[in-house]
Every structure is written in C-alpha cells, then in structure tokens.
Amino acid sequence: MPLQMNRKPFITAAITGAGATQDKSRLVPRSPAEIAEAAIDAARAGAAIVHCHVRDPETGTPCRDRALFREVTDRIRSSDVDVVLNLTAGTGGDLTLGEPETPLTLVDAETDMIGATDRMAHIRDCLPEICTLDCGSMNFGDGDYVMTNTTNMLRAMGRMMTELGVKPEIEAFDTGHLLFASQLVKEGVLESPALVQLCMGIPWGAPNDLNTFMAMVNNVPAGWTWSAFSLGRDEMPYVAAAALAGGNVRVGLEDNLYLERGVMATNAQLVEKAVTILNNLGAAPMGPQEVRDQLGLVKREMPVTT
C-alpha cells in the first residue's frame, strides 16, 4: 500500500530524558518544577503529548524517585494547560558489566536492575495516560552498558500497563523490537491497535538513514499508530520525514539540545520549530483531546489517588 502523508500528526515533546545532558545546557530542566514548567510551555507551543523523565534536583542526574514523578504529574495536571502525559517506564533496566575478561564483576554505581513491579511503581502511583515500554535489549552507546529488557520482563510490565489502563508507547530501536511487540499483541499482553515510537540513530540501534527508516515504518503492523524521531541535527529533518511517511513526530531536549548551530534551545522552541515545519508541509498538528480520541485514552484528572 502506498504511503500517504499524515496531514494531522501529533507532536510529542520529550522534555528532559535520561542522558547525561544536564551540564551541557543550562536549559535542560532538573527539578520537578522546572520539568513541569517546560512541559507546560511545550504544550502551549503545540505539543499534544509530553514525555517526562525525572532528575535529581541538585545534581541533575537521571533518577527514578517516585515522589519526583508524582510532583511532576501533579504540577502538570493542576495547570490550566491540557496535555497528554507520557511517563517513562524505562528506568531500572540498566546493566553495566565488568571489563571483557571479568564481565560478571558488575559496575554497581552504574547498574540499576529492579523487578517489574518496582519498575512500574511510579506508573501505578501517577497513572499517566501513556507510559513507555522499551521493547528489547541493546548495546546503548559504547562500553559495557546494556539497556536490559528481557522478553519475560516485557511481558510482565506490559500486562501491568494493560491492567492499569495506561497505554504503552512501544519504543522500537530496531526491527526485531517491532516483531516482539507484535508477539505481545498476539499473546494478549498488549491491546491492538498499539502505539509505537520509532527511535532512530541511537548507537547501536537502527541507523537513521532513510532506507532503514522505511524498513522500520514498513514493519509497523497495519492499523497501529506510530511516531518517529532522531537525534541532534537530524531531529528536525525527521519531523518532515515522519509526517511524509504517514506518522507522527517527536522533538525535545531529550533528543537534541540545539535550536540551530551554536544556539541552545528550550523545549517550547523546538516544538515551535516543528510546528512551522509541519505547517509548511501543509499539515496541522493535533490537539491533546484529538490524540485521546484517536488512541482511546481517558483524560486523567488531578489529583489521582491509588
């Protein structure tokens, strides 16, 4: 079937991420107040979805503190801005092995491996409309670090998401991740149609050349909703590429720190630039309620009690 441009895409703003970017730009939000404010500003600029991690407010280093996630959630929901909340569920699967001759001598300071229930604790507490499911393990960058998500871990977390009524956003870093996502739907772990984020250009996942990108697109099952992004200077070209290929788009400081060469960006500025690109292509971004209607989401009110 020939691809058709998506003239009504939604924009996801990935606000702060889990990378060591806190000292590369003063505009990377650290505290819950800063993260929530950046998310609200991104929504005002045209993002229908905000994807949030949390960081230690003092050091800026990524963390998975439930109280910080709850503060971010409550601040966003108590604002006067409507936006779909997407929280990461990717933390707690960080494995850093020892050197090649002693791989089982783990680097404790960099290893954070917890069980499925603990990985989902903040999702159960905050009940976002969407949360991420990194649908595979991979060598994420260089060295001895492995992003670890076994098939049984994904089944356990996927069942919890489905039972909670939180829509999983399947993070696919290569074609095999899409195949396993299809298996989870086949087994009834996840509901169909599913939601997919194609994560391009992350070493050593799928490279962000257009041939590989279209292979990823063509492996998304018919009827599923998908979005795509790439990193750094390729972030904005992928806004156009994703829309032209029939998908939705993601921008934000998780993926790129610059508005242009030498100019640091805010999340809102990156969203504004994406809106301009889409408008110039003849596309008009969705609002949050339109996204809920398309994905079958129920708006969560504040406060949420569990």
pLDDT score for 259:
97
The separation between CA 290 and the C-alpha centre of its own chain, rounded to angstroms, equals 19
Give me the residues paired with residue 108 across strands. none
> What pLDDT score does 301 carry?
76
Around Cβ 183, how many Cβ atoms within 10 Å? 15
Task: Tally Cβ neighbours within 10 Å of residue 65.
Answer: 15
Whose CA is closest to 145, among 19, 46, 281, 5?
19
**pTM of the predicted model as reported, rounded to 2 decimal places:** 0.96
Are 37 and 1 in contact, with CB atoms under 8 Å apart? no
Mean pLDDT, contiguous 10-residue spans, the chain (306 residues): 86 95 95 98 98 96 96 97 97 94 91 96 98 96 94 98 98 97 98 97 94 96 97 97 98 98 97 98 98 94 59
Q: What angle do CA 149, 109, 126 make, to 5 degrees?
A: 55
Per DSSP (E only), the strands in 156-224 are 167-172, 195-199
CA distance 211 to 218: 11
Distance (Å, whole) CA 274 – CA 114: 36
Residue 1: what pLDDT? 47
The residue ranges of every structural domain in the chain are 11-295
11-295 CATH choice from 3.30.70.1400, 3.30.70.260, 3.20.20.70, 3.50.50.60: 3.20.20.70
